[in-house]
Amino acid sequence: MIRTIIFFLPDYMATVERLRLKEAGGRGIASPDWSAAASLEMMDRYGIRAAVVSIASPGVYW
């Protein structure tokens, strides 16, 4: 199994918070707490052997 969404870049989340997008339209952008240790523990628990990270919209063009 491969996990495909595992992490938001700290600079990305700082920009989301600065622009107040977390509350946008009453829905906002969810930002779960993340740590490498917690992510690896969860992957081990569910037998996930690999993770893929990509930058989603709005990408790095803010």
Q: Are 56 and 16 in contact (CB under 8 A)?
A: no
Question: Residue 57 has which token pair?
Answer: 């919209």
Measured in whole angstroms, the distance separating CA 48 from the mean position of its chain's CA atoms is 17
**Which residues lie closer than 8 Å to 6 by C-beta, 6 or more apart?**
34, 39, 51, 53
pLDDT for position 45 = 93
Q: What is the pLDDT of residue 6?
A: 63
Averaged pLDDT, groups of 10, the chain, 62 residues long? 68 80 66 77 89 66 54
Contact 32, 19 (CB under 8 A): no
pLDDT of res. 47: 92
DSSP-derived 3-state class of residue 11: helix
* Residue ranges of domains in the chain: 2-51
